Chains A and B, each alone.
Chain A
Amino acid sequence: MKIGIVHASPKHGKNSTESFAHVLANMLPEHEISHLRVKDARWNQKEESHLVECDALVLCFPLYIDAVPSHFLFVLQEWEIIFKEMHENKPKIYVIVNCGFFEGEHTRVVFEILKNWCHKAKLEWGMGLGIGAGPMFAQAHAGDLNQRPNAVLAEKIRTMADVIDQLETADTIYISPNFPKFFYIHMGNLGWVLQAKKNGLRKKDLHVKP
C-alpha cells in the first residue's frame, strides 16, 4: 500500500509535527511511504503524483489559532480541486494535529474543518489524532517510547498506524500527557522567561504593550 505523509509545519529545522510523522512512518515499515513537505503557500507540484497515487494520505500539521495554519489552508484549497477531479482510487484521509496546550481536545474544531474539506474534495475520512503538549512529547520521544510520558503517545500513534494499515475508519483520539497539568504550565511559563532572557529581555518585558 502507498502512504503519503504530508509535513505541513511552516517551521524550518526540527519541529514537533515532523517528529510525530516519523514515529508513525516507522510503525508502518511494510508500506511504501512518500513524504511531502509544505512549508509555505506554494508546494512542489512535481510531487502531485505522490498525492494522487497513494491509498492513504496522512496530513500532519501544528494547530494555529484553533485551526489550520494559513499557508496549508491555501494549499488544501488547491488540493480540493485536484481530488475533486479524480473519480477513482482516491486516498483515504488521516490527520495528526499537535498543539502546545496541555489538552489534545483543543484540536477538536480543526478535525471538523478537515472533514468539511474531505466533503468538498469528495474524499473519505479515516481518522484524526489530536496531540496536546506536543513540544513536550516531541522533545521527550528522542528517548525510549516505552517510558513515561511517551508510552501514552506511542500507544495512540500505534492505534492510528493499525487503522491506516487496514485502511479503516475510526473515531478521533485526543491525547493529553500523563503528567501533572500545573507542572506543565509552570515549566512552560518558565521556559518563555528563559527564552526571553536569551534575547536580552527581562521577565516584565514579555508583558509590554506594543
Chain B
Amino acid sequence: MRLFVHDGTDEEFKEQFKKIKSDDIVLSNNGKIKPCVGCFDCWVKTPGICVIQDGYNHIAKLFTQAKEIIVISRCVYGGYSPFIKNVFDRSLGSLLPTFEEKDGEMRHLPRAHNSPRLFVYFYGKEITENERDTAMKLISKNKQNFHFSSEFIYFYEKYTILENIVYENRNRTCKSKAWEKQH
C-alpha cells in the first residue's frame, strides 16, 4: 500500500493525481485535524491508536502498513507545512514507547517492520538554500527515528507541476541517495 499525505484539497489532489491505484490511501486536510497533545495514550492506553476522535486517529496504523509514504508539502522554514507536521505528530503510535540505543543515540523501536520508503516533495516559490539544507537534515532525521528504509527529497516551485515529476522520479533508477537529494 502507498500512503499519500498532501496539504492540498481533495479536489486539487484528484485533479492532479489521476494514476492512483485502488489500494493507495490518500490523507488530505479536511480542516478538522486536531494537534497532538502529547498525552502518550497512543502508547500506554490504546497502543497504536490516537485517542483524539477527529477522523485522523488511525494515522499510526497507516504508517505501520505502508510500503511507501509519499508526502507533498509546502516547505515551511525548511520543514513540513502545519497539516503535514500534524500528521507526523499524530503518527507517534507507529513507534513503540520502548527505547533503544543505536549509533550512540537513543530512539524508539518500530511498532511494525514494514520499513517504508519515504518520498518528500516540497514545493514553494521562495525556498532558500538554508531551508533546503534544513529540509534534507529533517528528512534524514525522520528516516532514522521512524526506521524508514530510505528517504528521497525533491523541491519544486508549485504543487501543480508535481504529478508528472512524481511518476518520472519513481520510475528512475537512482544513482545514489546524495544524487537524489540534489535533484
A-to-B contact residues, CB < 8 Å: 9-12, 15, 40-41, 62, 64-71, 73-74, 76-77, 101-103, 105-106, 108-109, 112-117, 119-120, 181-182, 184-185, 188-189, 192, 195-196, 198-199, 201, 205-210
Closest chain-B Cβ to A16's Cβ sits at a distance in Å of: 10
A208 to B44, CA, bound (A): 11
Contact with A along B53-70 (1 / 0, CB 8 A): 000001011001000000
Query: With A101-B105, A185-B106 as given contacts, are A208 and B47 in contact (CB-CB < 8 Å)?
Result: yes
| Interface of A (DSSP majority class) | helix
Say whether A207 contacts B37, CB under 8 Å.
no
Say whether A113 contacts B47, CB under 8 Å.
no
**B133 / chain A contacts, CB cutoff of 8 Å:** 112
**B130 / chain A contacts, CB cutoff of 8 Å:** 112, 115-116, 119
- Chain B residue nearest to A11 (CB atoms) is B38
Tally of contact residues, B, Cβ under 8 A:
52
Say whether A113 contacts B61, CB under 8 Å.
no
Query: With A67-B80, A101-B105, A117-B77 as given contacts, are A10 and B100 in contact (CB-CB < 8 Å)?
Result: no
A-B contacts at CB below 8 angstroms, number? 150
**B92 / chain A contacts, CB cutoff of 8 Å:** 65
Say whether B43 contacts A119, CB under 8 Å.
no
A115 to B79, CA, bound (A): 12
- Chain A residue nearest to B138 (CB atoms) is A109
Q: Does B86 lie at the interface of the complex (its beta carbon under 8 Å from any beta carbon of A)?
A: yes
A168 to B78, CA, bound (A): 25
Query: With A189-B98, A206-B97, A210-B64 as given contacts, are A69 and B89 in contact (CB-CB < 8 Å)?
Result: yes
B-to-A contact residues, CB < 8 Å: 35-40, 43-45, 47-49, 58, 60-61, 64, 76-83, 85-86, 88-89, 91-93, 96-101, 105-107, 111-112, 128, 130-131, 133-134, 137-138, 141-142, 145
- Chain B residue nearest to A205 (CB atoms) is B47
Say whether B89 contacts A109, CB under 8 Å.
no
A174 to B86, CA, bound (A): 26
A113 to B138, CA, bound (A): 9
Closest chain-A Cβ to B60's Cβ sits at a distance in Å of: 6
29 cross-chain CB contacts under 8 A: A10-B38, A11-B38, A41-B82, A64-B89, A65-B85, A66-B138, A69-B85, A70-B35, A70-B36, A70-B89, A73-B85, A74-B82, A76-B77, A103-B105, A105-B105, A112-B130, A113-B134, A116-B131, A181-B106, A184-B106, A185-B106, A195-B40, A196-B43, A196-B44, A201-B47, A208-B48, A210-B64, A210-B93, A210-B111
**B93 / chain A contacts, CB cutoff of 8 Å:** 210
Say whether B101 contacts A181, CB under 8 Å.
yes
Say whether B134 contacts A102, CB under 8 Å.
no
Say whether A101 contacts B107, CB under 8 Å.
yes
Say whether A65 contacts B88, CB under 8 Å.
yes
Say whether B47 contacts A207, CB under 8 Å.
yes
Say whether B36 contacts A73, CB under 8 Å.
no
**A185 / chain B contacts, CB cutoff of 8 Å:** 99-101, 106
Between B35, B43, B48, B81, the greatest number of chain A beta carbons within 10 A of the residue's beta carbon is seen for: B35
